[in-house]
Structure 1
Amino acid sequence: MPNSVSDVPANVPAPIAVGVTGHRAERLGTIDQSVLAAQVDGVLVAIERAAHGACFRLVGSLAEGADTIMADVALARGWQVDTVLPFAREIYERDFDQAEAAKLHRLLAVSTDVFELPGARDESGGSSSAYERAGRIVLAQSDLLLAIWDGEPVRGRGGTAQIIEEAIATSIPVLVLDPESPRPPQLLWRGLNAHELGPESVETVARGTVQDLPRLFSTIMLAEAPPPDHSRRGWLEAGRRAYALAYPLLLAAAGVRRPRAADFRKPKPPPRPASIADPGSIDARINHTLLPYFDEADCAATHAAQQFRGAFVSNFALAALAVILSLLGLLIPVHLKPLLVLGEFTAIASILTITHTASRAGWHQLWLDRRQLAEQLRCLALSARLGDLLLHGVAGESARAGTIMIARRLGLPSARVDTAYLAATYARFIDLLDDQMAYLGREAARMHRLEHRLHRLGAVLFAVTALLCIAVLLIEGLGALLPDRMAGLAHRLPLGVTVISAALPAIGAAIYGIRMQGDFAGVVERNEILAERLAQVRRIAIDEAASFDGLRRLVARTAELLTADVSQWLRASKARPLALPG
């Protein structure tokens, strides 16, 4: 068994997390705990058989009763055990008598990771709040919740019934073992429905048995696969960089930014300094497991975006060029016209080749998928420090699979949430906000300049065309008034003007097509709105006193803003796939 989830080799699936909740010893009453342990063992055997070849970790709080029974059984079966404590361990052990405290110490000693939350008994409702907080961290870690529950409604804050309700509300499947009933364990899982029916509760969620576990784990283990590579044919790689140059050249021509050396090669992740974090810490896991994937996804998204943008810029430019070459046939000698025909054919063939290549290579979809994955990993790098792995409710199936694959390898932080831990996490959070706001500001300014200059250039081209038309009308009028003097000019000028007056609108139409395809104005608007919302979150973070719950709330809000912005951007981008300009 690996010492921690981060020790799992990249080609081996990470442990599936089974969270636990259940009644305490006094609630179990006269139930024979050895019999209950045998029932739990039977359930774990059913889980192992349903997910053949997988390994598991049990996540719970080691509360006296159901939690410790399940932990002992899981350890006996070779499972990894991770523990979420509602308080610092020396405070938590006050809930136990001497014998049970010794058992707690033993289980903590064999737990792979122990996350000690900042519960405070001296506050009003502090104990209930602490147990509720611990239960929610268990849910945030879990692929499946195993509950020892008698079916009775909620009796107190943070109790078993509440945690089960919250699990179902967040689409976490729950396997319920009723210690007072002879009926087999029940699987409460919305995935048993034939159709998506919206939010569920304990009363409405579909019910199954352990016979449905193979179906459940086939769904859970599907998310272990990384997102597919949309570059399906190696020969497509060769032309990518040439097409990708069109977009940075457009930025340079518009005076938005100068060409960079990076524009001429495939992006590579920047070197990161060697980590000095403790090898078992969550920081080391993030540095070792998450950041390489984030860098790869971010570079892949940047490269695919440049390819896609370069492709549509090339297409519209080549379409305008084909029109211009055709018009030049009116001016040049006949023996040179085959060269123009060849050039026009080459332009049209290039458009067809670019469109076909981009579609086969999936540049557009690759860009969207990798950008979504990168943003989810950006949020995960912070939320994982607070025990939230983003296993549930992540939009985008391909990106979700990549996020879950990495999240399972991060597992539970092995740390005590004290003042220093909170301060360090707050500092990382502020850095994330500042970094994102700075990026959004730069990108909005760049896209605003590009949109404004392209719009102005297009307007100038059409204005020049209108002036040329007026000039032709004046010349024709003078030709009618002064036929002897103006005959030669009236004969030569209109043909050249005809070519120019047709070429300029073709270029203007190409510029308009680039603006609409790139949606530069929309990018500016979305970036400015998101930057302002992140600034509001930052002001709240600065004004509020540092607390674990407050930080979790702010991180969740930031993740919601970033992923919602990506989802909105994806919807806008998917409405503009690469197509033949026509």
Structure 2
Amino acid sequence: MNKVHQPILTDIPLCLRVGVTGHRDAALAATNRAALEQVVAEILLQLSRAANNVLWRYAGIYSGNTAQLQVTSALAEGADRLVAQQALNVGWALHALLPFSPLSYLQDFESQTSKNAFTALLDRAEVVTDLAFDHDTAQLAGYEAVGKVLARNIDVLIALWDGKPARGPGGTASVIDMALQEGVPVVWVGLSDDVPVQCISPSLGIIQQAPWQIWLGDYVEKTLTPPLESTNVLESKELSQFVNASPGRFRKGWLYPFFQWCISGRIPQKTDFLQSDVQDLTLREWQTFSENTAAEMPDTQASAVIHQHYVKADLMASMLAQQYRAASILNYVLASMAVLMALLGLLLKDLKLVWILLELSLILGMLGNTYIGKSHRWHQKWLDYRLLAEQLRVARYFALIGANSLKQHRLISSFYQAQHVSWVNWYLTAVIRSVNLPAGQLNKACTEQFSLGLTTQLNAQIVYHHHTAARAHKADHRLHILGEVCLYGTLLACLGYLGVAVFAGTVTYNVATWVTFITALLPAFGASSYGLRAHGDYEGIAHRSELTAAQLSDIAERMTYSEHDLASLLALSELVRQVKSTELRDWRVTFERKALAIPG
């Protein structure tokens, strides 16, 4: 393959995360251990070659000179340690994901040799995540939680499995099912004498049409490869523009905040004009959340990394939204004013040339405004950047407890593939993939503090959606009233003309001219009012915001009465993601069709 030269350089390293599950030593005793080790080493080398090939080809996009290859293992006896040791042997990083504290976990291992082997591997782990379940009272829950967290935080699962059904929660077959449900493919290493290797796809099942080496290499390359200039110039260009973009100091599109003031009563804020004020506000909000949760959280580094990407996406999305909306409003205003200029020629005929020139200028202004907005893709970029920002907003919270899942992002990637936003999904998954599980102990104090912090954030989002719904209702109502006023004004003008014609017998030229002026101008203003109402989808915004607020309120209430343990938080995090995914999908589908256009 040829090297692709793309000067887009991001600050995202190329990472590949591999998990391991499998049976313990008793089940592996009858197998050829040396053959197993050789096969596992071959799998890891195949994964390494595929990842490094992507990095070599796209060195102008990913940062760093080497791929960050990670194996996540619970370090139980048997398969967990076998794969972990082979990973270390071939230069991979080891991340230990433990169900209990290391001291409690040692009780699972009978011999001193086994305990020493566990300690030796633990010492070589770059990251150790302790889920802190009680070994005596919640042993099975601990094993099950390890499987859930593992499945959410890997790209490929290596399973040393005898092919038999699950014997209990957290067992090999159970973890395989969790991985497949998360959209993670499984490399199944059999335990028979010939040690067969098969790949299991979440959607296709066991792969039989290609050797496992080829299928696995293709999967890794497709997963890690960014949008290609050779296959999709627009996607590659959009990625490059986002990476190289800067929000700047000032916002454009100042017409929009004043329009909001008129139709919804929202007074313009400094944040409508200064990007630095928006950035400061976002920083203060995040610092408040971090300060309230950091005391008990073992590791906030992953969350901080995601937050930096969120800030840029959020600032860019807000700026472009204001530009796009202001441009849309300006088009309707210019169209109405063009009609007014044309009609003024009826009243002030001596200035006919002036009105024609003004009308022409307004039309040219409308055409120029539309051309600039389309050529800079304000509408599409707003949709893309907001989609990215909202998913990063959620991801930065769940990174604190290792609850991020690429499953939802893979589904979103599939859903939006036809809408040409694959760069958004590549960027999002690359960012999430690049951060580690939190290092340290996720004990009860940690999960309780996280629950409190997340509940606060959910309540803030609920308040935001209630305010958004109220403003949207008011805007929709006022535009509706304006349209009705124009309609009834036209009706009264027509009735007045008929009254004069019937009772006076004749209608003077001046009266007829004014009636023509009014009955032509008011419908034009009414049509613009309706166009603004439909284009802004204020009724739809209000409905979506009310629905989202109700769903988030339900989750916040559940969180208040939950056990505040890791298992509960993993389940609730899935609900939050589902609500946000539904909201984003509905919003995207609605506004995708509302591109900047000339009213007509």
Normalised by the shorter chain, which TM-score bucket?
0.7 to 0.9
Q: Aligned equivalents of 2:573 and 2:450: distance in 1?
A: 10
* Matching of residues 124-135 of structure 1 within 5 Å: 126-135=138-147
CA contact (8 A) 1:115 1:415 kept: yes
* Matching of residues 390-429 of structure 1 within 5 Å: 390-394=405-409, 395-396=412-413, 397-429=422-454
The match for 2:279 is: 269
Q: Which amino acid aligns with 2:280?
A: P
Q: Which amino acid aligns with 1:576?
A: K
Compute the RMSD of aligned alpha carbons. Answer: 2.8
1:316-352 CA distances to partner (integer Å, 9 max, x unpaired)? 1111111111111112134x22221222122222222
- 1:80 is the counterpart of 2:68: no
The match for 2:338 is: 322
- 1:50 is the counterpart of 2:50: yes
Change (3 A) 1:138 1:206: farther
* Matching of residues 24-103 of structure 1 within 5 Å: 24-52=24-52, 53=55, 54-96=67-109, 97-103=111-117
Query: In the alignment, which of 453, 471, 475 is matched to residue 450 of structure 1?
Result: 475
Query: In the alignment, which of 275, 282, 306 is matched to residue 322 of structure 2?
Result: 306
Report the Cα offset of residue 281 of structure 1.
4.9
The match for 1:118 is: 132
SS of corresponding position for 2:96: strand
Q: Aligned equivalents of 1:383 and 1:114: distance in 2?
A: 18
1:383-416 CA distances to partner (integer Å, 9 max, x unpaired)? 2222223222311434322221221232111121
Q: Aligned equivalents of 1:580 and 1:231: distance in 2?
A: 26
Q: Which amino acid aligns with 2:299?
A: I
Q: Aligned equivalents of 1:129 and 1:295: distance in 2?
A: 36
- 1:355 is the counterpart of 2:365: no
Q: Aligned equivalents of 1:241 and 1:11: distance in 2?
A: 26
CA contact (8 A) 2:264 2:472 kept: no
Q: Aligned equivalents of 1:229 and 1:14: distance in 2?
A: 16
Q: Aligned equivalents of 1:12 and 1:255: distance in 2?
A: 41
Q: Which amino acid aligns with 2:214?
A: Q
Q: Aligned equivalents of 1:216 and 1:316: distance in 2?
A: 49
SS of corresponding position for 1:186: strand
- 1:580 is the counterpart of 2:594: no
Q: Aligned equivalents of 1:119 and 1:417: distance in 2?
A: 9
Query: In the alignment, which of 157, 160, 165 is matched to residue 145 of structure 1?
Result: 157
* Matching of residues 491-570 of structure 1 within 5 Å: 491-570=509-588
The match for 2:306 is: 290
Query: In the alignment, which of 120, 131, 139 is matched to residue 106 of structure 1?
Result: 120
Report the Cα offset of residue 56 of structure 1.
0.3
Q: Aligned equivalents of 2:301 and 2:379: distance in 1?
A: 34
Report the Cα offset of residue 121 of structure 1.
4.1
Q: Looking at CA atoms only, which structure, 1 or 2, has the larger radius of gyration?
A: 1
Report the Cα offset of residue 545 of structure 1.
2.6
Q: TM-score, normalised by structure 2?
A: 0.85
Change (3 A) 1:262 1:382: closer
Change (3 A) 1:177 1:56: same
Q: How many corresponding residue pairs?
A: 550
Report the Cα offset of residue 515 of structure 1.
0.3
SS of corresponding position for 1:51: helix
Q: Which amino acid aligns with 1:76?
A: N
CA contact (8 A) 1:184 1:209 kept: no
Q: Aligned equivalents of 2:209 and 2:556: distance in 1?
A: 41
Report the Cα offset of residue 565 of structure 1.
0.7
Residue ranges of structure 2 left out of the alignment (5+ in a row): 1-8, 56-66, 229-234, 414-421
Q: Which amino acid aligns with 2:339?
A: V
Report the Cα offset of residue 529 of structure 1.
1.1
SS of corresponding position for 1:472: helix
The match for 1:378 is: 393
Deviating above 4 A after TM superposition, structure 1's stretches of 4 or more consecutive aligned residues are 202-208, 223-227, 229-232, 265-268, 273-278
CA contact (8 A) 1:389 1:408 kept: no
Q: Aligned equivalents of 2:347 and 2:240: distance in 1?
A: 46
CA contact (8 A) 2:94 2:126 kept: yes
Q: TM-score, normalised by structure 1?
A: 0.88
The match for 1:196 is: none
Q: Which amino acid aligns with 1:293?
A: H
SS of corresponding position for 1:254: helix
The match for 1:260 is: 269
Report the Cα offset of residue 518 of structure 1.
0.4
- Which range moved further: 258-267 or 454-463? 258-267
Residue ranges of structure 1 left out of the alignment (5+ in a row): 1-8, 191-198
Q: Which amino acid aligns with 2:220?
A: F
CA contact (8 A) 2:105 2:135 kept: no
The match for 1:332 is: 348
CA contact (8 A) 1:231 1:362 kept: no
Report the Cα offset of residue 205 of structure 1.
8.9
Report the Cα offset of residue 547 of structure 1.
1.7
Report the Cα offset of residue 440 of structure 1.
0.6
Query: In the alignment, which of 458, 478, 485 is matched to residue 460 of structure 1?
Result: 485
SS of corresponding position for 2:30: coil
Q: Which amino acid aligns with 2:480?
A: H
Report the Cα offset of residue 60 of structure 1.
1.2
- 1:219 is the counterpart of 2:222: yes
Q: Aligned equivalents of 2:226 and 2:525: distance in 1?
A: 47
SS of corresponding position for 1:505: helix
Report the Cα offset of residue 157 of structure 1.
2.4
Change (3 A) 1:417 1:262: closer
Determine what percentage of the aligned residue pairs are the same residue: 29
Report the Cα offset of residue 229 of structure 1.
4.5
Q: Aligned equivalents of 1:164 and 1:106: distance in 2?
A: 27
Q: Aligned equivalents of 1:362 and 1:466: distance in 2?
A: 41
Report the Cα offset of residue 519 of structure 1.
0.3
- 1:180 is the counterpart of 2:180: no
